[in-house]
A and B are shown apart, each in its own frame.
Chain A
Amino acid sequence: MTQMTMIQAITDALRTELKNDPNVLVFGEDVGVNGGVFRATEGLQKEFGEDRVFDTPLAESAIGGLAIGLALEGFRPVPEIQFFGFVYEVMDSINGQMARMRYRSGGRFSAPITVRSPFGGGVKTPELHADNLEGLMAQQPGLKVVIPSTPSDAKGLLIAAIRDNDPVIFLEHMKLYRSFREDVPEGEYTIPIGKADIKRQGENLTIITYGAMVHSSLKAAEELEKEGISVEVIDLRTVSPIDTETIVESVKKTNRAIVVQEAQKQAGVAANVVAEITERAILHLEAPIVRVTAPDTIFPFSQAEDVWLPNYTDIIEKAKYVINF
């Protein structure tokens, strides 16, 4: 075990896979000699050479196309999109192309590609850096969307994503990059994609969440505990496909649930979680399932983040509403 931040755990996962598999290629804008704008690829070009870790011209669409073409020649591309707000430039390459590769070729070709990209609010970034756009990707058949919230999850999930023979979108919350350290196992290990994790056991209420909201939810759970409310916190870890089994099992035990996301109410994946619970466990519910989300406006000007982003007090408020329903 080594104490690592999430960004260190990500670098460690990339290093592990670059070492394990000569087909793994890491590329994007400034990921080479610069080591990435967040240092996620720090030292990797020096260790593995320019043939394995390389910079690209500044054009997201072609980065996606490059990944697809390299996959056709048997490589395992791990491209980076510098900020996920820039995904619109590469929506066709990801959603229109790599997500469909196996299907459209009738299984003849595949796209074992992992697209890494930072996102998430709370660090006062300029426009279109922090937007929560996972909901767009979660709606695309053929993609898996992974969002870790801890260093050890990040490493195990990233190794699993890279080894997956179908495309995975791996979204890294900027606020979590260096916000805390955690023991991370050395060497290689994987965490299955599509499997949620119960970050806190509880009896009275289930909070289903992901990304930075996992930590806000855990803080809210601590506060609620003081008032005698026992909260179970489920970290989805993969937002598409979602682990309905773990969610439903928990709701059957607690009979109450809220879903917490940083994205706007009309975005994200919370509505899908609510629908799955409704379809599968409605007779176990003592109260409606309520969502904690951001308001349905464009992502805020940086000075307005504090009043816009959902936080632990919003969660406490909704939790109490559901408890007292």
Chain B
Amino acid sequence: MFKTFQILNEEGRVVNEEALPELSNEQLKELMKRMVYTRVLDQRSISLNRQGRLGFYAPTAGQEASQLGSHYALEKDDWILPGYRDVPQLIWHGLPLYKAFLFSRGHYVGNQMPEGVNALAPQIIIGAQIVQATGVGLGLKKRGKKAVAITYTGDGGSSQGDFYEGMNFAGAYKAPVIFVVQNNRFAISTPVEKQTAAKTIAQKSIAVGIPGIQVDGMDVLAVYSAVKEARERAINGEGPTLIETLTYRYGPHTMAGDDPTRYRTSVLDNEWEKKDPLVRFRKYLESKQLWSIDEEENIIEQAKEDIKAAIKKTDEIPKQKVTELIDIMFEQPPNHLKEQREEYVRKESK
């Protein structure tokens, strides 16, 4: 009933001609650029984390098609409510790289979205982004805007109450929301089979009466098409969609000591490496003579330079002070915070 939607197979051949999205050659190349760039960002982030130059980091390699294919179907006015692994979507939506690094390190400036970038900082409470996205969607609908809210969670997240509640509210209000579940088969060490007896996550849409689709999350064209269609339906007032992307994270859950060899077999790893979204899209573009090694190397160099510059900028951001943390609590500070602020002004002036 919920068959996996696929356009490109592992060899990069089109297996579903009629679903092929209308993308220009430039757009196809742009998608590839973003995926390559993000793969480099992941590799560099892991090594910067190991050097102690980044803090919290949740690896993204393997999920490029799922993260960037879905983001590419959005417009600037759309809202993103990301989970903690969804930093790449924020970057391509307008969050400067150095701020993404500040988020990782734990600095409030990293969470200050630039004006006009409709997105929240990555959500740590799994499921909270789902109910909030529904509120944003209802807000967009009430304002009469032709825009959507998109939110992401993982396979484990689909077990949360907020996951169901958020989708159910969005269905009841016909709110323009796209719920993406990136099913990478593991919630830390717990396989998806231990989250639910449901054969797919996509079928959880039935419980709330909204359309659901399962997509090959290693196929950037399939992910793009599914989100594009969900967005069209949403802005036409037809309500929300649940999209399950079947994907895989090549790295650990986070860089905080997780060791995937404890719970994943190399057989499984190898199986999913063959599905690498970059490999198959590269083959596809090469078959259309749209991609070359030179182009790819240029992107890799560009990414490395950007990352180096961004880390440098991150280092130059002044350290946080308690007075600053007090100042961002309320619009008007209550008396007790005024009092405490004075104390810290004295401490900080020493």
- Please determine whether B165 and A74 come into contact, CB atoms closer than 8 angstroms: no
- Chain B interface, number of residues (Cβ within 8 angstroms): 41
With A96-B128, A103-B108 known, 14 other A-B pairs at CB within 8 A are: A56-B169, A57-B165, A57-B168, A62-B169, A68-B132, A75-B142, A92-B125, A92-B128, A92-B162, A96-B125, A105-B121, A108-B113, A141-B329, A241-B336
Interface residues of A (CB under 8 A from B): 51, 56-57, 59, 61-62, 64-75, 92-93, 96-97, 102-110, 141-142, 144, 164-166, 194, 241, 243-245
| A59 to B136 alpha-carbon distance, docked (Å) | 17
- Please determine whether B131 and A62 come into contact, CB atoms closer than 8 angstroms: yes
Residue-wise, chain B 132-168 has the 8 Å CB interface mask toward A (1 for contact) of: 1111111110110000010000000000011001101
- Please determine whether B330 and A102 come into contact, CB atoms closer than 8 angstroms: yes
Identify the interface centre among A93, A106, A164, A244: most chain B CB within 10 Å of its CB. Answer: A106
| A107 to B328 alpha-carbon distance, docked (Å) | 5
Contacts of A106 in B (CB 8 A): 108-109, 111-112, 328
- Please determine whether B134 and A107 come into contact, CB atoms closer than 8 angstroms: no
Contacts of B138 in A (CB 8 A): 66, 69-70
- Please determine whether B162 and A65 come into contact, CB atoms closer than 8 angstroms: yes
- Please determine whether A194 and B331 come into contact, CB atoms closer than 8 angstroms: no
- Please determine whether A69 and B134 come into contact, CB atoms closer than 8 angstroms: yes
**Is B265 an interface residue, CB under 8 A from the partner?**
no
Contacts of B140 in A (CB 8 A): 73
Residue of B132, B149, B327, B334 near A97 (CB, 8 A) is B132
Q: A59-B165, A62-B162, A110-B331 are in contact. Are A51 and B142 (CB under 8 A)?
A: yes
- Please determine whether B128 and A97 come into contact, CB atoms closer than 8 angstroms: yes
| A75 to B143 alpha-carbon distance, docked (Å) | 10
Contacts of B336 in A (CB 8 A): 241, 244
Q: Which of B75-98 contact A (CB under 8 A)?
A: 79
Residue-wise, chain B 18-62 has the 8 Å CB interface mask toward A (1 for contact) of: 000000000000000000000000000000000000000000000
Give A145 Cβ to nearest chain B Cβ, in Å: 11
Could you list 23 A-B pairs, sorted by A, with CB under 8 Å?
Answer: A56-B169, A57-B172, A59-B168, A61-B131, A61-B165, A62-B166, A66-B131, A66-B138, A66-B169, A69-B134, A72-B79, A73-B136, A74-B139, A97-B125, A103-B325, A104-B108, A106-B112, A107-B112, A108-B112, A164-B331, A165-B331, A241-B335, A243-B335
